[in-house]
A and B are shown apart, each in its own frame.
Chain A
Amino acid sequence: MRFSIYRYNPEIDEKPYMQDYDIELEPTDRMLLDALVRIKAQDDTFAFRRSCREGVCGSDAMNINGKNGLACITRLSEVREPVVIRPLPGLPVIRDLIVDMSQFFKQYHSIKPYLINDDPPPEGERLQSPEDREELDGLYECILCACCSTACPTFWWHPDKFVGPAGLLQAYRFIADSRDQAINERLDNLEDPYRLFRCYSIMNCVDVCPKGLNPTRAIGKIKDLMLKRML
């Protein structure tokens, strides 16, 4: 199978280049990650991140034939040859497919991604009704792989100011949590022309999310709550 892969080692290469690989696949090689591991066995200078290899950890997010996705859950039978693989767009490249995600995580941390509740913790758990718990479906599944944020032109342009779809989905995950007590502070934190309102709902995030989540809907719900608060 033919692959064309983005290569860049800043210590050796003056600029990035695309390298072609022809790989003999075994019948057990089902996912793109299996092929990348074969390439790595053939050329050990090739660098990429991977960990759980089953779409849970979010380490092997990359741009596959022009669309962001996770190599470990992308079927080899469904990708067009030659498979063009590049690092996630918009983030600084450390080496080959490995990108510097500091900016992405900085935005994630800016929304305080933890439960804020000043009540003394109960003996057992902080309970929720099944309906309240249901509101978190489609939010808590996010694995922070950065496929969505790095597919977003606003995040490319304002990575330092716009929270990005992943961060905003996570923000709504805590805004929507009936056990959280800081909803007003969270809305205040996001009421900013850059942080939230740079989202123009073009839905690239929804298109690429490997977990099938919908950041645009979460962003819409944040705006609805702000509107409800204002009126």
Chain B
Amino acid sequence: MVKREVIGAHYGLRDWLAQRVTAVVMTVYTLAFVAALAGMPQLDFASWKALWTQPWMRYATLLFLLSTFVHAWIGVRNILMDYVQHIGVRLPLYVAVILALVLYGAWSVQILWGL
């Protein structure tokens, strides 16, 4: 391959936007979660389990986790872009990160609906 600097990949805006949107989702969820905790009649196993068996709690948590994974993908990819200069190493690392995050997504569903 010729040793020339190539730039101009024509992406970045969607990721920048996604990072901001997912950050808002995570903030709202965190506040709602604290409110839900504060609103629990008492902190015992029964009310804790009751909280987690409500569908809205499951869906909200899933949305929060998926937002975290999307946010994490962009952040980790940027770190790899900064520190892993060889593209032959960087690409397999990208693939590994994506596979891990997809796996975490499936695992989250399994945990949330298995409670």
Residues of A within 8 A of B (CB): 157-158, 160-161, 188-189, 191-197, 223, 226-227, 230
- Tell me which of B11-19, B52-60, B94-102 binds A: B11-19
Q: How far is the CA of A126 from the CA of B16 in the complex (A)?
A: 36
Contacts of B5 in A (CB 8 A): 160-161
Task: Please state if A161 and B7 are interface contacts (CB–CB under 8 Å).
Answer: yes
Task: Please state if A157 and B12 are interface contacts (CB–CB under 8 Å).
Answer: no
- Sample 27 A-B pairs with CB under 8 A, ordered by A number: A158-B82, A160-B5, A161-B5, A161-B7, A188-B10, A191-B12, A191-B13, A192-B7, A192-B9, A192-B11, A192-B12, A193-B11, A193-B12, A193-B78, A194-B7, A194-B81, A195-B7, A195-B8, A197-B13, A197-B15, A197-B16, A223-B13, A226-B13, A227-B13, A227-B17, A230-B13, A230-B14
Which residue from chain B places its CB closest to the CB of A193 in the assembled complex?
Answer: B12
Q: How far is the CA of A160 from the CA of B81 in the complex (A)?
A: 14
Main secondary structure of the interface of A (DSSP, over half): loop
Contacts of B9 in A (CB 8 A): 192-194
Task: Please state if B15 and A192 are interface contacts (CB–CB under 8 Å).
Answer: no
Contacts of A230 in B (CB 8 A): 13-14
Residues of B within 8 A of A (CB): 5, 7-17, 78, 81-82
Q: How far is the CA of A16 from the CA of B96 in the complex (A)?
A: 43
Which residue from chain B places its CB closest to the CB of A196 in the assembled complex?
Answer: B12
* Complex partner residue of B10 from A157, A161, A192, CB under 8 angstroms: A192
> In the complex, how many angstroms separate the beta carbon of A104 from the nearest chain B beta carbon?
15
Task: Please state if A191 and B16 are interface contacts (CB–CB under 8 Å).
Answer: no
Contacts of A160 in B (CB 8 A): 5
> In the complex, how many angstroms separate the beta carbon of A105 from the nearest chain B beta carbon?
15
Contacts of A157 in B (CB 8 A): 82
Which residue from chain A places its CB closest to the CB of B9 in the assembled complex?
Answer: A192
Which residue from chain B places its CB closest to the CB of A188 in the assembled complex?
Answer: B10
Contacts of A161 in B (CB 8 A): 5, 7
Which residue from chain B places its CB closest to the CB of A157 in the assembled complex?
Answer: B82
Q: How far is the CA of A223 from the CA of B7 in the complex (A)?
A: 18
Q: How far is the CA of A159 from the CA of B5 in the complex (A)?
A: 12
Contacts of B17 in A (CB 8 A): 227
Contacts of A223 in B (CB 8 A): 13, 16
Task: Please state if B12 and A197 are interface contacts (CB–CB under 8 Å).
Answer: yes
Contacts of A226 in B (CB 8 A): 13
> In the complex, how many angstroms separate the beta carbon of B24 from the nearest chain A beta carbon?
15
Contacts of A192 in B (CB 8 A): 7-12
Q: How far is the CA of A191 from the CA of B12 in the complex (A)?
A: 6
Which residue from chain B places its CB closest to the CB of A198 in the assembled complex?
Answer: B78
Contacts of A196 in B (CB 8 A): 12
Q: How far is the CA of A227 from the CA of B16 in the complex (A)?
A: 10
Contacts of B78 in A (CB 8 A): 193
